[in-house]
Amino acid sequence: MRVNSGFGRILVALYALFALAATGRSVLQISQTWPHPALPYLLSALAAVVYIVATVALARGGDRNARIALYTISFELLGVIAVGIWSYADGAAFVAQGQAGDTTVWAKFGQGYGYVPLLLPILGLWWLRHTRRAAPDEVR
Amino acid sequence: MFAPLTYLTGAALAVLALLAAYGLARGRPIDNPMFWTGLVAEGLIVVQLVVGVALSGHGGHGMSAALFIAYLAGLVVALPVAGVWAIAERESRSSSGVILVAALGLLVMLVRLVQIWNGHG
């Protein structure tokens, strides 16, 4: 099973959706508050970059891209968990412009997106592991 | 927002999601019912864009017009991309999977669109 076939295709679609959502969100947030974008807005931009790189790597497939996907998706999981904990520990840093609630994609473990941002890297890592295990004849 | 249009769009997307989920479960790629439902949904979304831009000054208190129009533009783009992808992927069930992801994503975006319109950006 190749990384970019079967369920991998659906994974790419999910990542593309989040790449679009995070990019749109961060561009709007940062452009509207330039030159002093708040911290959560910069985190939105970071999330956008991670989603775009992961989308491209998953879509292209192959050994090299699978490794790139592994790094970015691992970073994504760490990011969701770190930003999630951070947003609960220091809620004040995540409320900008008098708005209440989540101001970046990964705040509160992705609550604003139905926790899909937390689920997505776990699915991604599982899939990368699954496709690697299914090809035992490859020399590593 | 023009409520009847929004309900119609939501209904078309829900039907599309059901068809795609059925296709995915049966291991079938995009078929004619899915294609035409998607076309109807896309048509409704384009009307939504035109009406939305025309009415963008009359939203709820505190509505961000820029955010509202950005969401409308995103809505318009999603289905054509998913459709081309699904047709290119005709030989496998992931064709239906891609449509399912797009339809569910669009439903969430539609709900967010209504929230933004009401000023809960």
Tell me if B94 and A20 make a contact (CB, 8 A cut-off): no
Span B63-90, pLDDT tens digits: 888 888 888 998 999 999 999 999 998 8
Chain A, 7-66: which have a CB under 8 Å from a chain B CB?
7-10, 13-14, 17, 20-21, 24, 28, 32
Structure tokens at A76: 């994504």
Using CA atoms, how far apart are residues B42 and B20, in angstroms rounded to an integer? 15
DSSP assignment, residue A138?
A: S
The interface predicted TM-score (ipTM) is 0.75
Its sign, for the CA torsion A21, B85, A53, A9, is positive
Q: Is B31 on the interface with A (CB under 8 A)?
A: no
CB half-sphere exposure, A43, CA atoms < 13 A? 23
Report domain extents, chain B: 3-117
Q: Render each residue's pLDDT in chain A as its tens digit; 140 residues.
A: 688 888 888 899 999 999 988 998 888 888 878 888 888 888 999 999 999 999 999 999 889 999 999 999 999 999 999 999 988 888 777 766 545 445 788 888 988 888 999 999 999 999 999 998 766 555 44
